[in-house]
Amino acid sequence: MVKVVLLAGLLLAATAVRAQDPIATDGDKYKVIFENDRVRVLEYRDKPGERTRQHRHPAFVLYALGPFKRTLTLTDGTVLTREFKAGDVLWSDAQTHIGSNIGDTPTDVIMVELKEEPPKK
């Protein structure tokens, strides 16, 4: 019985981790445009007022294709407000968040997610 409960818990945990992939949580907004064993390149688009479900990104670089303003709500409740102009670039360590478009323009970005773990210091 204990083995069955443990196995069920592991399966649920694995499903929860997979469910946090942005393609799974918000496939209407994220599109994979390139992927190999080192990186995954995503295009993300949304409209003013839209929001994502909670999801996770590994470390990534974001390139803004147009101007936008949004909030990111992190798992600890911290709310970050981000505003970008076309051509802005951002580096981010891995994070889990919910994103909300709070501006008057669509969000249109390219994200390059890294698949490698950062070097140990």
pTM reported for the whole predicted model? 0.80
Token representation of residue 15: 């499903």
**Mean of all residue pLDDT scores within the chain:** 88
pLDDT at res. 69: 98
Q: pLDDT-based confidence at 120, cuts 50/70/90?
A: confident
Residue 14 predicted with pLDDT over 80: no
Cα–Cα distance list, 30 to 3, 35, 80, 120 (Å): 38, 13, 21, 30
Tokens 């147009």 appear where? 66
Q: Is 56 exposed, middle or buried (0-12, 13-18, 19+ CB in 10 A)?
A: middle
- Least confident window among 8-12, 28-32, 74-78, 85-89: 8-12
